[in-house]
Structures are given as C-alpha cells and as structure tokens.
Amino acid sequence: MEHLLKLADLTGPQILQILDLADQLKYEKKRNIPHERLKGKTLGMIFEKSSTRTRVSFEAGMFQLGGHALFLSGRDLQLGRGESIKATARVLSRYVDGIMIRTYAQSDVEELARFSSVPVINGLTDAWHPCQVLADLMTVREQKGSLEGKKLCCVGDGNNMANSLLVGGLRTGMEVRIATPKGYPPSPQAMAVAAEYPGQFTWTDDRFAAAKDADVIFTDVWTSMGQEAQAQQRAQAFAGWQVNRELVSLAKPDVMIQHCLPAHIGEEIAEDVFEAHVPEIYEEAENRLHVQKAVLVLCMEGK
C-alpha cells in the first residue's frame, strides 16, 4: 500500500488484507510474541485537531513495531506560521519513514501525499476517518464472524464517520443503511461510491426503518471538530436522533453498538445503551491500535 488517504481508494480484498494482518498482530501482541517489523523507522504525526485514541494508538503502535513516533502539533510546526503543506511534505520526507496527519481539509492530506516521498496516512479529516472504520470493520468481523451480508446501520450526521462507514461497509459486502436528518446527508463523494452498489445501500431520514434487523448500529457526535459554531443549530436538527432503547429494540437481539468516541452521552446515545455495550465499544477503541499497526506495516515495511 502506498498511502492510506481514504477507504474509497481501496478494494474490498485490500481492506480484508488489512483486517487479516490486524488480527494476526493482535494475536501476537496478546501473547507477547515480538513483532518488531518497523525497527528503526520513524512516523511523524501531524495533529491540527485534538485526539486521544488516534495519537496514543499510533504512538504506542509504532513503539510495539520497534519504531518511533513523533507528535507534531500543527501549531508548533512552521505549518502554523504559513509554511505550505507542499514544503512540509518535502522536508519531513527527508527525516521520517511515514507521516500520519489529522487535519480539516481532505485536500491537504492529498497534497501532503503528492509531495511526500514517504507513505501518508489519514488520521481523520472533515471528509473521512479511514483508520477508525478499519477498526470498526475489524471489531464487527471479530464478533460476528464475517462482514458479508451483515446489516450495518449508521444513525446521525452524514459526516466523516458516516461517509467512511458507507464506503468500508459496501466494499466488504455489508448491507449499508445510513439514516440522517434532512439537510445532513452523506457527502457526494461517498454517494458516488454508493452508486456502485445498487441494492446494497439505503440512505433515509427514517432512523427506525434503518435500524430494523440491524446487526450493528453506529452513531457519532452531532457536532464534529471544526463545526463548533453550528452546535446550537445542530442540536435542534438532531433532537431525538438518539440511539436509545426504542431504536435498538428494532434491531437484531444480538445487535452490536459501536461509537468511534468520544461520545456525548445523552445526546447521540442514551446512557443505558452505551453502558450495556461498553465491552464492544472499547474493543472497537482497542482495535485502532491493531489495525493501524497493520496499516503501518503494509505502508512502511521494507521501504
């Protein structure tokens, strides 16, 4: 794999290859089997937005692979004083073996990849969150045995998570239903991918219909990072759009509930539902570590 910029760039088999390696690395980690496959390599991690899971899982993951990770805050880099993405890509490529970036515009990640001579990994943009959805698919496959034909329901904003779930779910053979309030649809780029899978995809503003017989229900915050100025307006538009007992009762009895975290308990998800599904939600968070290690190995090993 050259870069990981968005899941739309990958085929279903390529996604499954990442999940297979992630399963193997998780197995090795749990049994303390050494897997220092990136010995001596350095990952630069640029953060223009906050992060707990992404930062810590990438940094710990690089260490476990025998390498090293550098936390680079966008504010502290010259990037924050106007040095271009292009110039940043050119110089960082001389020092590090891979770059992970969390930022606003997807075009900045694409630009970084264009001018970087080392692999670039998208750690979240306004448009996509590929690493998260790889962890999500890993968790669903782990618990349900397979992805093919399973019903994935995503309730809430048509944001980076919904868009990535749409693409990742469809590419791996899941039946994908995205439920959003009117005015908060998936992105045109995600809908273009959906058009490749007629009969496997529904987008609706009826969250109850979307949840019917679901194998897994995903939700995410109503206001994503960078949208804080719209928080009030969004709270109104999303009122009632909560994964609660009523909604969950329509799904399969063994439905999984997933949330990328951080969660706003009492907004997009009811406290009792969250608490009842804590083990699988935190397994999902843990799987960020394993799946990203797989991505790092596939992008950086032997280069």
Could you list the active site residues? 102, 129, 132, 220, 260, 288
Using DSSP's 3-state secondary structure scheme, residue 44 falls into strand
Residue 52 site contact among ligand NVA, ligand CP, none (CB < 5 to 8 Å, cut-off depends on kind)? ligand CP
What is the pattern of x (binds ligand NVA, CB under 6 A) and - over residues 215-234?
Answer: -----xx--xx---------
User: Judged by CB under 6 A, does residue 227 bind ligand CP?
Assistant: no
φ/ψ of residue 184, rounded to 5: -130, 55
DSSP label of 187: P
List 260, 269, 294, 299, residue binding ligand CP (CB under 6 A): 260
Angstrom CA distances, 118 to 8, 73, 105, 276, stand at 20, 19, 20, 42
In 142-204, the DSSP E strands lie at 151-155, 175-179, 201-204
Residue 84 site contact among ligand NVA, ligand CP, none (CB < 5 to 8 Å, cut-off depends on kind)? none
Angstrom CA distances, 88 to 46, 93, 112, 252, stand at 10, 8, 8, 49
**From 22-30, 74-82, 154-162, 176-184, span contacting ligand NVA (CB under 6 A):** 154-162
Residue 159 site contact among ligand CP, ligand NVA, none (CB < 5 to 8 Å, cut-off depends on kind)? ligand NVA
User: Judged by CB under 6 A, does residue 161 bind ligand NVA?
Assistant: yes
Select 110 or 286, whichever has its Cβ closest to ligand CP.
286
Q: Pick the closest to residue 135 from 208, 222, 26 (CA basis).
A: 26
Select 175 or 220, whichever has its Cβ closest to ligand CP.
220
In the complex, the smallest distance separating the C-beta of residue 218 from ligand CP, rounded to whole angstroms, is 12
Helix or strand holding residue 97 (H, E) = none
User: Judged by CB under 6 A, does residue 260 bind ligand NVA?
Assistant: yes
* Burial class of residue 36, CB neighbours in 10 A (0-12, 13-18, 19+): exposed
List 16, 191, 261, 263, residue binding ligand CP (CB under 6 A): 261
User: Judged by CB under 6 A, does residue 56 bind ligand NVA?
Assistant: no
Taking each helix axis from N to C terminus, what angle separates 130-144 and 278-300, rounded to the nearest 10 degrees? 120
> Rg (Cα) of the chain, in Å, rounded?
19
Q: Which of residues 20-79 bind ligand CP (CB under 6 A)?
A: 51-54
- Give the binding site for ligand NVA (CB under 6 A): 124, 159-161, 220-221, 224-225, 260
- Give the binding site for ligand CP (CB under 6 A): 51-54, 124, 132, 260-261
